[in-house]
């Protein structure tokens, strides 16, 4: 049987006592009211390393012999697994070499070093988790050092499954849905293995980033598929493929897969902060974003949403806000060619609505030309205001190019 046995998950729970905390399962009034159901947030963002990853990493390493660990371990991670492994290395006093993508937020790198202390060395390599993983596995083979996988390992999955144990123990009522984010599939495989054994009627909803749908690709194909390209923005769940072990389990336990655009995750990051004072990373926000897709199904139901991690770098907030505005359709960039004469800019400004705001403007006048381009960013109050803005520009014969759908040009702006 593909599923992780309940007894293995319960044994992992014993090992994790004093290492991982039993995080709260809290009913959330804001989202319960919004979706007309009972929403419970499983707060893994409050874990010691601010994500669930300590559970699997410590369980795996605790099961290894002293001989296996004598020369240390190696792993690859986009951030959260690295922190879990680092903490496990410190507690077990094992040398760890951790390979992380060069794109990893500084906040996560600093935390890895903090949790691992003298026992951990961080090496930045590659642009994605998968590229870092290739290097880490090569070093593991060359030096005969154990590789601690981020998700495709039954002991890792058993550790993550302890989240499921805590969820069922904390709920007196029947749980109708559990919503879980998916990168490699370790968390959902662990939760699903336990929950389906104890409460088979509970539906398990997998949530992936639209730019990295590795589980959906594998489920559709019936085998592990390696995606050629992924969007690495939601670094916690941006993987090119799930594992063969996690795929086998997910084929048994996953009832639905929802793909969430990265821009919508950004909207929910801001919403969670503004409404609930909860700081989450993009991967974590994906599960809140997914609720819109099942809003009709969950009415009147008990729904557990697993907030998998809160390791967000504050320096990313401007990008997060920008992506949110773009996704919501309330910010637009244009390349506008203005006649180089007095009053041209004022005429353009008169076309804007009362609530429109110019948030970006770049223009250099060149006296040897009759016209010149300006890069203009405009924030509108409502998405539906865009059509009116464009119509006024066209009626006034404004020469413009809308850049939001031009990836190469647009990439320069955010």
* Residues belonging to the active site: 53, 308
For the purposes of burial, counting CB atoms within 10 Å of the CB of 362, is it exposed (0-12), middle (13-18) or buried (19 or more)?
A: exposed
- What is the spatial order of strands in the sheet that 38-43 belongs to? 25-27, 38-43, 302-307, 177-181, 203-209, 256-260
Q: Which residues pair with 260 in a beta bridge?
A: 209
Nearest to 55 by CA among 147, 134, 165: 165
Give residue 377's Cα distance to chain centre.
27
Q: Which residues contact 344 (CB under 8 A, 6 or more apart)?
A: 338
Strand 399-402, strand 331-339: pairing: antiparallel
Q: What is the CA radius of gyration of the chain?
A: 24
Q: 280 and 312 in contact (C-beta within 8 Å)?
A: yes
CB atoms within 10 A of CB 409: 14
3-state per-residue secondary structure call for 211-254:
CCCHHHHHHHHCCCCCCCCCCCCCHHHCCCCCCHHHHHHHHHHC
DSSP label at residue 383 = T
CB atoms within 10 A of CB 207: 29
- The residue with tokens 């495989």 is 189
CA distance 328 to 264: 8
The two structure tokens encoding residue 283 = 């991967």
Q: 284 and 5 in contact (C-beta within 8 Å)?
A: no
For the purposes of burial, counting CB atoms within 10 Å of the CB of 407, is it exposed (0-12), middle (13-18) or buried (19 or more)?
A: exposed
Q: 191 and 306 in contact (C-beta within 8 Å)?
A: yes
């Amino acid at each position: 049987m593909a599923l992780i046995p309940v007894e293995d998950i319960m044994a992992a729970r014993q090992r994790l006592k004093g290492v991982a905390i039993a995080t709260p399962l809290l009913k959330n009034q804001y989202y319960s009211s919004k979706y007309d159901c009972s929403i419970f947030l499983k707060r893994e963002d409050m874990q010691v390393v601010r994500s669930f990853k300590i559970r699997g990493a410590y369980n795996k390493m605790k099961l290894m012999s002293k001989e296996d660990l004598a020369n240390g371990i190696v792993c690859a991670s986009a951030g959260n697994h690295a922190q879990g492994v680092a903490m496990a290395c410190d507690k077990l006093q094992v040398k760890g070499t951790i390979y992380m993508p060069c794109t990893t937020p500084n906040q996560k790198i600093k935390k890895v070093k903090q949790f691992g202390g003298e026992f951990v060395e961080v090496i930045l390599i590659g642009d994605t988790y998968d590229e870092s993983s290739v290097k880490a596995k090569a070093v593991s083979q060359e030096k005969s050092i154990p590789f601690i996988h981020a998700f495709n390992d039954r002991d890792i999955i058993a550790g993550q499954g302890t989240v499921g144990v805590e969820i069922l123990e904390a709920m007196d009522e029947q749980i109708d849905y559990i919503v879980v984010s998916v990168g490699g599939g370790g968390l959902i495989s662990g939760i699903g293995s336990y929950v389906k054994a104890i409460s088979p009627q509970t539906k398990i909803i997998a949530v992936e980033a639209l730019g990295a749908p590795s589980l959906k690709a594998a489920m559709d194909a019936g085998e592990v598929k390696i995606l050629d390209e992924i969007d690495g923005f939601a670094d916690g769940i941006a993987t090119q493929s799930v594992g063969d072990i996690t795929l086998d389990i997910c084929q048994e336990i996953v009832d639905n897969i929802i793909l969430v655009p990265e821009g919508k995750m950004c909207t929910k990051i801001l919403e969670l902060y503004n409404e609930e004072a909860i700081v989450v990373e993009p991967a974590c926000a994906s599960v809140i974003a997914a609720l819109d897709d099942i809003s009709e199904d969950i009415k009147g139901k008990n729904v557990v949403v697993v907030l998998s991690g809160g390791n967000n770098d504050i320096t990313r907030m401007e990008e997060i806000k920008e992506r949110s505005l773009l996704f919501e359709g309330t910010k637009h960039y244009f390349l506008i060619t203005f006649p180089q004469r007095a009053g041209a800019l004022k005429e353009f400004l008169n076309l804007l609505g009362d609530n429109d705001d110019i948030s970006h403007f770049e223009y250099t006048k060149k006296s040897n030309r009759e016209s010149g381009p300006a890069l203009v960013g405009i924030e509108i109050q409502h998405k539906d205001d865009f059509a009116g803005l464009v119509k006024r520009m066209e009626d006034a014969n404004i020469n413009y190019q809308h850049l939001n759908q031009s990836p190469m040009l647009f990439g320069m702006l955010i």
